[in-house]
Structure 1
Amino acid sequence: MSGETDASWLRRSAPSLAQMEVMAEEAYARLPEEFRALCGNLVIRVEDFPTDEVQEEMETESPFDLLGLFQGIGLAQGYETVTGVLPNMIFLYRRPILDYWAEHEDTLGDIVTHVLVHEIGHHFGLSDEDMERIEEEAG
């Protein structure tokens, strides 16, 4: 490692909630159409941490334990035929994602894409191999 510093890092800060939401929406748009179709009309929300209720329901020990959460039903479970329900939502938790990013070599964009794919994939029972292929297709 050389002693040189990339001076642009001196002016950077962690992405805001709004910036990470744009990053997540762009990552979602790159996913294969057939994968996105599972979700119906999906809303992506970014929050700093999961709510106390979510932490209790998921039985986490720390608010940093959960990177994301899928809430809703999809086309595979009859989403189009259900009326009076909230749209499908994915919550990404900014602070746990940033903490994970700081401890790993993956790019922040790769982590956000990974969390999106895995939250959707686990909800619909996709295999790890299917999710890896989808992440690769998203670039």
Structure 2
Amino acid sequence: MAERGQTAPDAERIERLARQAVAAMPALFRDHLGDVAILVEEFADEGALADLGIEDPWELSGLYEGRPLTEQSIWSSGDMPPRIRLFRRPLLDEWAETGVTLEDLITHVLIHEVGHHFGFSDEDMHAIEDGLGQQG
């Protein structure tokens, strides 16, 4: 966590941490993320929140936008490139509230959004996380 007198990490630092998290992923995953843009914004826009049925912008720390790999084909043209949007202010708020390292939090959110790129639902990812927790 930030010490007294330090400023909150800016968007560039969040993006660097996200890129480090991607670089640390197994090659099998990294190889399929080359065309996925990672953007850092302060908050999700009203349109994204409305699409997800979320009223409070503090509740959304990341979002995958694009066609999952499981739905892509050579016949899909005109689609915008997939992107992962990380929302700085909700991330920093969660970081301050949980005490989890910022690196771990960004990695967790990023992996969740990468899961959507690979076609996993929220339920699939929760089941995978639950299974990993039971292995230890």
Task: Tell me the TM-score range normalised by the shorter chain.
Answer: 0.7 to 0.9
Contact 1:118–1:131 (8 Å) recurs in 2: no
2:55 is the counterpart of 1:85: no
2:53 is the counterpart of 1:30: no
Distance 2:59 2:3 in 1: 27
Contact 1:40–1:80 (8 Å) recurs in 2: no
Instruction: Name the amino acid aligned to 2:100.
Output: D
Distance 1:90 1:112 in 2: 12
Distance 1:133 1:12 in 2: 38
Q: CA deviation at 1:114?
A: 0.2
Change (3 A) 1:51 1:61: same
Q: Unaligned 5+ residue runs, structure 1?
A: 1-7, 135-139
2:98 is the counterpart of 1:104: yes
Q: Give the 3-state SS of the residue equivalent to 2:3 in structure 1.
A: helix
Instruction: Name the amino acid aligned to 1:96.
Output: P
Q: Which of the numbers 85, 110, 114 marks the counterpart of 1:116?
A: 110
Distance 1:118 1:93 in 2: 14
Q: Which of the numbers 117, 126, 129 marks the counterpart of 1:128?
A: 126
Equivalent residues, number: 127
Q: CA RMSD in A?
A: 2.5
Percent identity between the two aligned chains: 35
The one-character-per-residue Cα deviations of 1:11-66 (angstroms, maximum 9, x if unpaired) are 42111112211111111111112223444511000000000111111111211010
- Equivalent residue number for residue 4 of structure 1: none
Distance 1:77 1:40 in 2: 17
Distance 2:74 2:95 in 1: 36
Contact 1:73–1:79 (8 Å) recurs in 2: no
Task: From the CA coordinates, give the structure whose radius of gyration is larger.
Answer: 1
Q: CA deviation at 1:82?
A: 2.9
- Equivalent residue number for residue 5 of structure 1: none
Distance 1:77 1:47 in 2: 27
Q: Give the 3-state SS of the residue equivalent to 2:9 in structure 1.
A: coil
**What TM-score do the two structures reach when normalised by structure 2?**
0.79
